[in-house]
Structure 1
Amino acid sequence: MNAATTTTTTRPARFGLARTLRLGAARIGYETRVYFRAGDTVFFTFLFPVVLLGIFSVAFQGMGNVGTNPDGSGGISQASYYLPGMIAAGILLSGMQNLGVDIAMERGDGTLKRLAGTPLPVMSYFIGKMGQVLVTSAAQVIILMLLAKLAFGVELPSEPEKWLTFLWVYLLGIVTAAVLGIAISRLPRSGKSAAAVIIPPLLILQFISGVYLSFSLLPEWLQNVASVFPLKWIAQGMRAALLPESFASAEAGGTWDLAGVAIVLGIWLVVGLVVCRLTFRWIRKDS
């Protein structure tokens, strides 16, 4: 074996893990900058839950506290009551809606086709997308909590176990939503139709999942439908983390059912990963 052959066989792989991670980290910065330059995307996925929290808190504060005792004491403010739902909605919008529409548009305008002709590994592309979702979603949660705390006097939990619950529900929820967003990006047949195909079903899901309306007010059959999808469980997990324990009695079954939250979100995460693995292409086969 000559020296040239030895050099070739011992050279690091072109698409090694270190290179993939390095390119992925660079893509996170790029994707985040592009995200904040798109005004409509920033409003409808980043600021939308913040605006709704402000509107609901002001509009319904005249109704008094939620969960008051018969003598009128106790309960929590409207802002405290709606905060978990707005965080859950933000997770859905940042993950599923943002990535579903964004990737479909990139496929439609030829961006993915051009990327396929570059040395960029597919995994680096996904690291960029997932990283952008985590960065923007975390910023959104911080803004929601600051608004609730500073503008409406919401008392955030002081117990470490509550924050531990918040952390794992948030991480599992945002990763699941992002993976499902990549999966549903295959549904639109063109970039122009992406918003029309993806946004309306997700909007309906928000109304039946205990985000804008109390879940207990919905008819049983609609509760059963909503329980199939992940948003209901993300919202329930957020309520478990941010609301007093007495509010657990208002949930289906009378408990927070955090085990159910973990199981359902875990199932949807696996389903999303399988769908992504089987269906993702840089370009549509029928294009």
Structure 2
Amino acid sequence: MNSSRHRTVHAVRVGLARGWTEFMLSIRSPQDQGFYLFTAVAIVGYLFLRRDTEVEGTSLLLPSVAMPSILGALVAFGVIIGPAYALAMEREDGTLLRAKAVPRGILGYVSGQVLYHSLNLFPSLLTILIPSFLLFDNLAHRGLEGWLTVIWVLLLGLLATMPIGIIIGSLVPNVQKVSTWGMLPVMVLTGLSGIFFPITMLWGWVQVIVQLFPIYWLGLGMRSAFLPESAASLEVGGSWRTLETVGVLSAWAIVGVLVAPIVLRRMARRQSGSQVEAARQEAVQWVR
């Protein structure tokens, strides 16, 4: 028992060390720095151009309403698509096969991926938050209470959405299919989840479908952290529905934590050297 526990703890430690190393390499990478800069310039630039636009039904300006929603969308998109692409790519290049050959290797691999993609959110969020607070007024109406809300919403949001990315990465036949099976549906859901406009503007049946998924609740939670109580009038039911946010995100987190390891283990058991080679040949043909 103690030996098994020791191997588990060792695998997690190795995985976390790998995740930390990958994160440090990422923030030093010119390519990744360029991505953070491009994302920040695009989002902050859009908000700056609309800085004098009032949101209908409130006295608030667009930047103060849109920024929390955009942050929620970035979190959801980053921790769904990021792990999905990473898992699909490293399944094809043999990384997962090598991890499988080591005792508790898959556990270590997943631990590293969770840490890496969680940490990778912060450069994206900070490069947007810092210039936004310098350029726009009244972005954080709730002070310390609001920042505490940001913390629990982020934690629950990560737990609710990251398993989805792991499941997608485990199920897709190749990395090219991540765009079809993962990116496209997430983009559609994001566009309909109240990130860019209140979902109350949509048909009733669309509102019902959107509220079944965690992206809407992640955005709602972020809005509740930054916006004044009066802004809740734009939401479904005219309130922030905090208990419902906790309940839905927790439900997705529980289901994800239960289902993702099963799907990942089944995928890992099927992984073989011949499959890796076939995936490489298919990738070469696709590039050509």
Question: Where on the TM-score scale, by shorter chain, does this alignment land: which range?
Answer: 0.7 to 0.9
Partner Cα distance (1:186, 1:246) in 2: 43
CA contact (8 A) 1:109 1:191 kept: no
Trace 1:161-200 onto structure 2 (pairs within 5 A).
161-200=145-184
SS of 2:80 mapped into structure 1 = helix
CA contact (8 A) 2:8 2:104 kept: no
Q: Aligned residue for 1:20?
A: 11
Trace 1:1-287 onto structure 2 (pairs within 5 A).
12=3, 15-33=6-24, 35-36=26-27, 37=29, 39=31, 43=35, 50-62=40-52, 64-67=53-56, 75-119=59-103, 121-280=105-264, 281-282=267-268, 284=270, 287=275
Partner Cα distance (2:238, 2:57) in 1: 18
Distance apart, 1:247 and its partner CA: 0.8
Q: 5+ residue gaps in structure 1? A: 1-8, 70-74
CA contact (8 A) 1:79 1:154 kept: no
Deviations 1:215-267 (CA, angstroms, capped at 9, x unpaired): 22212111111001000000011111111110111111111001111111111
Deviates more, 1:111-120 or 1:268-277: 111-120
Q: Which has the larger radius of gyration?
A: 1
Deviates more, 1:77-86 or 1:225-234: 77-86
- With over 3 angstroms needed to count, the CA separation of the structure-2 counterparts of 1:61 and 1:42, relative to structure 1, is same
Q: Which has the higher helix share?
A: 2
The one-letter code matched in structure 2 to 1:129 is: Q
Distance apart, 1:89 and its partner CA: 1.0
User: How many residue pairs were aligned?
Assistant: 270
RMSD: 2.7
With structure 2 as the length reference, what TM-score do the two structures score? 0.83
Deviates more, 1:275-284 or 1:92-101: 275-284
Partner Cα distance (2:42, 2:195) in 1: 11
Deviations 1:165-212 (CA, angstroms, capped at 9, x unpaired): 221111110222212211121231112322333111111011000112
Deviations 1:59-84 (CA, angstroms, capped at 9, x unpaired): 4335x222566xxxxx2222111111
Query: Which of structures 1 and 2 has the larger relative contact order (alpha carbons within 8 angstroms, sep 6+)?
Result: 2
Partner Cα distance (1:14, 1:169) in 2: 32
The one-letter code matched in structure 1 to 2:183 is: I
Q: 5+ residue gaps in structure 2? A: 276-288
Partner Cα distance (1:47, 1:40) in 2: 9
CA contact (8 A) 2:11 2:108 kept: yes
Distance apart, 1:145 and its partner CA: 1.4
With structure 1 as the length reference, what TM-score do the two structures score? 0.83
SS of 1:193 mapped into structure 2 = helix
Runs of 4+ in 1 over 4 A off after TM superposition: 11-15, 33-38, 46-49, 283-287
Deviates more, 1:25-34 or 1:185-194: 25-34
- With over 3 angstroms needed to count, the CA separation of the structure-2 counterparts of 1:283 and 1:93, relative to structure 1, is farther
SS of 2:195 mapped into structure 1 = coil
The one-letter code matched in structure 2 to 1:56 is: Y
The one-letter code matched in structure 1 to 2:245 is: V
Deviations 1:27-54 (CA, angstroms, capped at 9, x unpaired): 12233246554948973xx567534422
SS of 1:282 mapped into structure 2 = helix
The one-letter code matched in structure 2 to 1:57 is: L
CA contact (8 A) 1:31 1:129 kept: no
